[in-house]
Amino acid sequence: MKQAENTHFILTGATGILGSHILYELLYRIHKNDYNGSVVLLLRSRKDKTAIERYDELFDEALVPDYFHAVDRSRIDDCVVLIDTDITNVQHASLAKLNKEVRYQLIHCAASVNLGTNEATFDEIKRNNYLGTLNIIHTLLPYLFKVSFISTAFSSGHKSGLIDGGLSDESPKSFRNPYEQFKAQTELEVVQTCKGYGLEWQIFRPSIICGRLVDHPHHVIPKFLVFYLFGAFFYRIKEGYGDQTIRITMNQESGLNLVPVDYAAKAIVRALDTDIQEMNIANRTCLPNNYAVPHMLKKVGWKNYEFTDHIPEDQNPLEKLYYRTVGAQLHEYLVTPDHEFNIGNLTDLMKDMKEPDVFEHYLQLCDYAVDKEFNHLLS
């Protein structure tokens, strides 16, 4: 990988699962003098916290990887520019802090991760993930030379077999939810926009993100989403419903493709100044459902369950609650065939780093989530 000197980045989603670890990697590169540049964070204030307070939360002892302890925050903070803005409606006036004499590489990581299928979810995903992405790119156009868009490995849609994914995949796609649908549509429009304006582009497609397995302390993750939601549901309702039996739809021959957040972040940051345009960031093997699901239930203390291959019609109150909430988001992923992704680019890029063994660490990943009571460490 060529050395990146005087590179300036704009990062969205820095308080998210993957975005926070991309930020750690970028700031550590500044610390090591791998490049001389700046990192601009588009980060909005909330009612309970300012943008600066949300930025400071990222460096909580419970979150940062051990390698980051060597970083001189006072020096690094001078290289960070905070712009308090809502990325779904970025205005030119809010970009006064950008240096007009340089060109930036946008790493667009921010997104709503809502896997629901109802109309409200459709509107949310369209507004935040699709229209928000197009708005931010068009608003930042005068400042950019490259766009690196964080999509999802599941933009390939509902399919089995080896998934190359990518813009060259013109086969008909059946999407499980608006999240997948709009990620795929956004990929196409990001590339069309970049080509139209002469910008470089990259599409990175991580699979399901789990806690850290490369950097210590292991298992840490700032928010508990996607497959963690399954455990959180049963952890939180066991006092009121623990005596009821639930029938959970699941393909016992299939599994979950999990990739550790730090491994994914390292791959993305390594790829930023390469000529890689599209890259799946996934595990070479899936974690079997018939291992992952029962062991998560055991870790949260849930005993009464059965597995079925179809959603029950005569649902009890617990089942109605499950299939209305977390089941509505995860059902299609639990019954889908295995997802096997082409990770040739990833393997070449990370050839000096052993792929973390998710199966070996899965029980500890569950323990970490239970210990934190599935409460997010970042707002």
Q: pLDDT (tens digit, 9 = 90+) per residue, 346-374?
A: 999 999 999 999 999 999 999 999 999 99
**Residue 192 CB neighbours (<10 A):** 12
User: Which of 170 and 197 is assigned the larger pLDDT?
Assistant: 197
Question: What would the mean pLDDT of 153-176 be, rounded to a whole number?
Answer: 78
Any domain includes 140: yes
pLDDT reading at 152 higher than 70: yes
pLDDT reading at 244 higher than 50: yes
pLDDT band at 379 (very low <50, low <70, confident <90, very high): confident
Q: Check residue 106 and give its pLDDT.
A: 98
- Ranges assigned E (strand) in the chain: 8-12, 38-42, 80-83, 104-108, 144-150, 162-163, 200-206, 208-210, 246-249, 255-256, 258-260, 278-281, 287-288, 305-308, 340-341
Range of the domain at 36: 8-219+257-284+340-356
Q: Check residue 339 and give its pLDDT.
A: 81
pLDDT reading at 273 higher than 80: yes
What confidence tens digit (pLDDT) does each residue in 116-143 have?
999 999 999 999 999 999 999 999 999 9
* Angle (deg, nearest 10), helices 317-324 and 326-335: 80
Q: Check residue 12 and give its pLDDT.
A: 98
Question: What would the mean pLDDT of 245-270 be, rounded to a whole number?
Answer: 96
**Residue 376 CB neighbours (<10 A):** 13
Question: What would the mean pLDDT of 79-91 be, rounded to a whole number?
Answer: 90
pLDDT band at 171 (very low <50, low <70, confident <90, very high): low
Q: Check residue 108 and give its pLDDT.
A: 98
Q: Check residue 333 and give its pLDDT.
A: 92
Question: What would the mean pLDDT of 250-258 be, rounded to a whole number?
Answer: 93
Q: Which of 358, 59, 28 is nearest to 222 (CA)?
A: 59
Any domain includes 299: no
Any domain includes 36: yes
Average pLDDT, the chain: 93
> CA 340 to CA 164: how far, in whole Å?
9
- For 28-32, the CB contacts below 8 A with 24+ separation are 28/67, 28/68, 28/71, 29/4, 29/269, 30/76, 30/79, 31/70, 31/71, 31/72, 31/75, 31/76
pLDDT band at 165 (very low <50, low <70, confident <90, very high): low
Any domain includes 315: no
Structure tokens that stand for 17 in this block: 């699962």
Q: Check residue 93 and give its pLDDT.
A: 76
Q: Which of 146, 168, 165 is nearest to 157 (CA)?
A: 165
47-51, 85-89, 91-95, 363-367: which range is least confident on average? Answer: 91-95
What does the DSSP assignment read for 300-342? Answer: TT---EEEESS--SS--HHHHHHHHTHHHHHHHHHHSPP-EE-
Q: Check residue 280 and give its pLDDT.
A: 96
Any domain includes 51: yes
Any domain includes 146: yes
What's the domain count of the chain? 1
Any domain includes 239: no
Question: What would the mean pLDDT of 208-226 be, rounded to a whole number?
Answer: 97
Give the CATH number of the domain where residue 62 resides.
Answer: 3.40.50.720
pLDDT band at 4 (very low <50, low <70, confident <90, very high): very low
Any domain includes 314: no
pLDDT reading at 2 higher than 50: no
